[in-house]
Structure 1
Amino acid sequence: MCRSLKDFYRRSKILHFYLLQAISRGPLAARGFRMGKGDQLLEHVLIKYRWLFVCFFLLPASFLYELWSYFRNLIVFKLSSAPGKHASKVQKVQQQVREWNKNGQQGHMCTARPGWQTMSFRQGVYKKSFYKVEVNLVDVLEIDTENNTVRVEPLVSMGQLSASLAPLGWTIPIVPEIDDLTVGGLILGTGIESSSHQFGLFQHICEEYELVLADGSLVTVTKDSDPDLFYAVPWSYGTLGFLTAAKIMIVPCTKFIKLNYKPVYSLNDAVKEFSEASASKNQFVEGIMFTLNKGVIMTGNMIDEPQPGDKVNKIGLWHKPWFFKHVESFLVTGKTASEILPLRDYYHRHTRSIFWELQDIVPFGNNRLFRLCMGWLMPPKISFLKLTQTDAVKRLYENNHIIQDMLVPITNLKESLQMFNKETKVYPIWLCPFKLPADPGMLCAPKERMFVDIGVYGVPDPSVNFKPMETTRKIEEFVQKCEGFQMLYADTYTTKEEFRRMFDHTLYDRVRSKLACTKAFPEVYDKVSRAARY
């Protein structure tokens, strides 16, 4: 508990430092953002004591929403009502698109889903002016254990899908950690997990897409029936059509996983251990760096049942320490260790603390007493956090906070960690290896290659003089030189020309031309660039 209080104090001081910088002489002041004494006090309270609002308003609201979603999904799944209604819901999407065509194709189209409901840190400016199409598709449609597939609608979440499959002894091969991530976002954007060194990105476990195109027609595509459209859909961000369903591979699963923790105490050892683990036959591989020279490399495999004497750690229980804090404890012992985890607890291990982002919102969230009393309400919905941010709070976070996932060849891991340490000094840092096949599309590789996702989420250390645009530009340039890629849910400051050099648009441009998408949808860059988001 003492250590939690020390972390609380340290993080409060850092946030307070940035608050004063932003108000007095930082980027906000330079942009003409001025506040009187009363406003300064209000902003101080909104940042430093935001936990009050989160704890007493957002947590109860999030709990009630989750409760409603759980029972709604359970009833639909048990009654199998979703498959019968899917066709009529898709027809409504088609009707809206045909209406857009009938009315003269005025402006681009996008989904009507509010920007605050997405997982991106920002909301799209385009949502204010585009023709909005209601795509209310939220159900699991079919679990086919004979053909090893599950058919789902695009707004099905990872928490919802794993809860539907696991009791039946099945899982999708890649289950991204955060419960609220949706199938549509993971396909049209991207998704990754600690099994990706075996299976690739989320798109690589998808076998079929159903889409409503710009003319209102409905098509179902596979890599055999229409390879161009099939491989162009991932990373297209809804700029080729409206995704209405996807068929995804499923594999048998057990109820438990044996997870191994290996502490490392130098950068060279971390790179060596992580690279070797990524090339191994372990089902799950992940790393968390707590400083440039200290981290824990984790490997895991499914097991049928714990053996006598095995320790079972139900890390998903409300009173358990946050997973990344639990992992950090192995640096103290300095010993390699193993334990048994329930599979679903492992899949969603980073949900309760939203990786480690929640410690900057509720700094005492990992305190034992808080976990015992209020841990069952955690975490607040990310969408609710976004919805309740004031403009001033958004600007303050923009200038004093970074969220980035950079995908670089694993051979560039060491220099990448050194670069992030120099430019941001944000810790922890998440490491997740993934296999990039030589498939056509935005992420086009001449041959299969192992990459690593480097996830940086948090408040930069005051010593690095963090500047959002300048710092991110340096990181983007570095990643491009490594022939890597940037996840596009986060801020991207690349120019359109730089963006097209990072991502191969050859197939994408050909498909957009063939399907007459120019009037119907903007290009990907015009939806994801910093200028397109607020």
Structure 2
Amino acid sequence: MHSIEAVVRVEPLANMGQVTALLISIGWTLPVVPELDDLGGLVMGTGIESSSHIYGLFQHICVAFELVLADGSLVRCTEKENSDLFYAVPWSCGTLGFLVAAEIRIIPTRKWVKLFYEPVCGLDAICKKFAEESANKENQFVEGLQYSRDEAVIMTGTMTDHAESDKTNCIGYYYKPWFFRHVEGFLKQNRVAVEYIPLRHYYHRHTRSIFWELQDIIPFGNNPLFRCVFGWMVPPKISLLKLTQGETNRRQYEQHHVVQDMLVPMKHIKTSILRFHEDLHG
């Protein structure tokens, strides 16, 4: 008996926030979900998330693409149909044509993510712990946040339909602390903890603070008073920020601001962290 693969067809202008909101409401989800609502470039660029140790990069959950080529023709490509084009689309950065549709594999979902937080000190211990947890396929989600060369919090999660009421945390609400600051609290306390987070809140845990970028844009943005009164206004659209920034701000970003976005093999993680630390703080 052959099983039927469940897919969702996504076209331009549908962002990740909209896709997950719809799918979760009907009991499905993407196997690999980027943390930011408006994140793009995942098919023709690359996307690696906290479930990629199981499902691979974002491109690996795509089963078909539709492109408009330079001659104006519409082409559909899969592993069997126009396969050379199908395998060339990822990492092509828009050079092959306009992507006008993608068919993406989906999987059944559950209500909560049971998330474990474990502070780890020492670079060797951090790398060892992250590699071990990533190799453990019982962990549906694995993420590490590094706060210094030798301090990190390793998080592992599994989906579940049941949650302990005294350990639930709806981290996506606008008045909640930014997620990376929330996680840092476990590091400062050197405390192992577990929380139950609504699935969609977990998926978009870095949206409100744009990972940690918003602290440079709104330095007081994580202040409890600001969160409670104005938290519903963030995050601002990046396109709006670029449109309204002055020349001084633009130069400041160009000369003193670095966005780290690197994809490296697990075996080189220690070497990579040391190199990043040396280049940025040496």
Fold shared by both chains (TM-score > 0.5)? yes
3-state SS of paired residue (1:407) = coil
What's the TM-score, normalizing by structure 1? 0.51
Residue in structure 2 matching 1:192, options 24, 44, 48: 48
3-state SS of paired residue (2:270) = helix
Does residue 361 in structure 1 map to residue 217 in structure 2? yes
Alpha-carbon deviation of 1:310? 4.5
Q: What do the CA deviations read for 1:42-65 (whole angstroms, capped 9, x no partner)? A: xxxxxxxxxxxxxxxxxxxxxxxx
3-state SS of paired residue (2:71) = coil
Alpha-carbon deviation of 1:295? 0.8
Q: Partner amino acid for 1:349?
A: R
Corresponding residue of 1:343 = 199
Distance 1:415 1:223 in 2: 36
Q: What do the CA deviations read for 1:393-430 (whole angstroms, capped 9, x no partner)? A: 222211101012111111111121111111103xxxxx
How do 1:119-518 and structure 2 match up within 5 A? 147-182=5-40, 185-281=41-137, 282-307=139-164, 309-425=165-281, 464=282
Contact 1:158/1:175 (<8 A) preserved: yes
Structure 2 residue runs without a partner (length 5+): none
Distance 1:346 1:390 in 2: 34
Deviates more, 1:328-337 or 1:227-236: 328-337
Q: Partner amino acid for 1:254?
A: R
Q: Partner amino acid for 2:169?
A: N
Contact 1:173/1:195 (<8 A) preserved: yes
Percent identity between matched residues is: 59
Task: Report which of the two structures shows the higher radius of gyration computed on alpha carbons.
Answer: 1
Q: What do the CA deviations read for 1:85-134 (whole angstroms, capped 9, x no partner)? A: xxxxxxxxxxxxxxxxxxxxxxxxxxxxxxxxxxxxxxxxxxxxxxxxxx
3-state SS of paired residue (1:316) = coil
Corresponding residue of 1:503 = none
3-state SS of paired residue (1:286) = strand
Alpha-carbon deviation of 1:285? 0.4
Distance 2:244 2:185 in 1: 34
Q: What do the CA deviations read for 1:372-406 (whole angstroms, capped 9, x no partner)? A: 11111111111111121234422221110101211
Q: What do the CA deviations read for 1:346-374 (whole angstroms, capped 9, x no partner)? A: 00000000001100111111111111111
Alpha-carbon deviation of 1:236? 1.0
Q: What do the CA deviations read for 1:65-94 (whole angstroms, capped 9, x no partner)? A: xxxxxxxxxxxxxxxxxxxxxxxxxxxxxx
3-state SS of paired residue (1:163) = helix
Q: Partner amino acid for 1:333?
A: Q
3-state SS of paired residue (1:408) = coil
Distance 1:396 1:318 in 2: 28
Structure 1 residue runs without a partner (length 5+): 1-145, 426-463, 465-534
Corresponding residue of 1:39 = none
Higher helix fraction: Structure 1 or Structure 2? Answer: 1
Q: What do the CA deviations read for 1:184-239 (whole angstroms, capped 9, x no partner)? A: x2111111210011111111100000111111111111011122100001111211
What's the TM-score, normalizing by structure 2? 0.95
Alpha-carbon deviation of 1:293? 0.8
